[in-house]
């Protein structure tokens, strides 16, 4: 079994299907109260990854970026709260819109553009940064726990992903 010694794991994606399949594993492993924070430029693949998480949670129907509505809720094995902070000017604004209910309520919370309000999240979150790679379909995906890996609720997930990443396609 691969053991992770650092709190970050880097995976190279070569297609949107790969990114979605990575998300699917995250959704399958998700447990109530998980908070997943997504960062990366416009079009990097945050919504694509979230669509995979939704599939892994058994959500039916297509998950769009909630840019204009800020947050949407989908029902699967667990409730998926999908939040997009792109238009948020400040953390306080996000808070005023009721983000705390999504963060500390039931279900799992996936937040695009989380760096817009990084100070308001619980410590033990999973940060996932998506970066453009050299060719148009390449992405570097860096997963990082908010607390040391051995204290993180995401340790089993990252260990599994470290093992499985070579077999995702």
Ligand X SMILES: Nc1ncnc2c1ncn2[C@@H]1O[C@H](COP(=O)(O)OP(=O)(O)OP(=O)(O)O)[C@@H](O)[C@H]1O
Q: Which residues bind ligand X (CB under 6 A)?
A: 13, 15-16, 18-19, 40, 42-48, 65, 112, 137, 139
Compute and round to an integer the Cα radius of gyration of the chain: 15
Rounded Cα distance between 149 and 160, Å, is 13
Contact call for residue 51 and Mg ion (CB under 5 A): no
- Quote the least distance from Cβ 40 to ligand X, whole Å: 6
What residues contact residue 19 under an 8 Å CB cut-off, 6+ apart? 13, 45, 48, 49, 52, 130, 139, 141
Which partner from the list ligand X, Mg ion, none does 45 bind, CB cut-off 5 to 8 Å by kind?
ligand X
How far does CA 20 lie from the centroid of its chain?
A: 11
The residues pairing with 139 across neighbouring beta strands, listed in sequence order, are 13, 132
- Quote the least distance from Cβ 86 to Mg ion, whole Å: 8
Contact call for residue 47 and Mg ion (CB under 5 A): yes
From candidates 16, 17, 64, 65, binder to Mg ion by CB under 5 A: 65
Contact residues for Mg ion (CB under 5 A)? 46-47, 65, 112
């Amino acid at each position: 079994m691969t053991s992770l010694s650092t709190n970050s794991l880097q995976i190279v994606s070569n297609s949107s299907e790969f990114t979605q399949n990575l998300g699917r594993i995250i959704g399958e492993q998700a447990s109530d109260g998980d908070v997943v924070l997504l960062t990366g430029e416009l079009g990097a693949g945050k919504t694509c990854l979230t669509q995979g998480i939704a599939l892994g949670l058994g959500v039916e129907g297509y998950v769009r970026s909630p840019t204009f509505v800020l947050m949407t809720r989908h029902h699967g094995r667990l409730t998926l709260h999908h939040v997009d902070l792109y238009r948020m000017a400040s953390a306080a604004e996000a808070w005023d819109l009721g983000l705390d209910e999504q963060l500390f309520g039931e279900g799992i919370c996936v937040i695009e553009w989380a760096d817009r309000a990084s100070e308001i999240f619980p410590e033990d979150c999973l940060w996932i940064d998506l970066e453009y790679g050299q060719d148009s379909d390449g992405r570097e995906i860096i997963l990082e726990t908010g607390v040391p890996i051995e204290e993180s609720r995401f340790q089993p997930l990252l260990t599994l992903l470290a093992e499985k990443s070579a077999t995702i396609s």
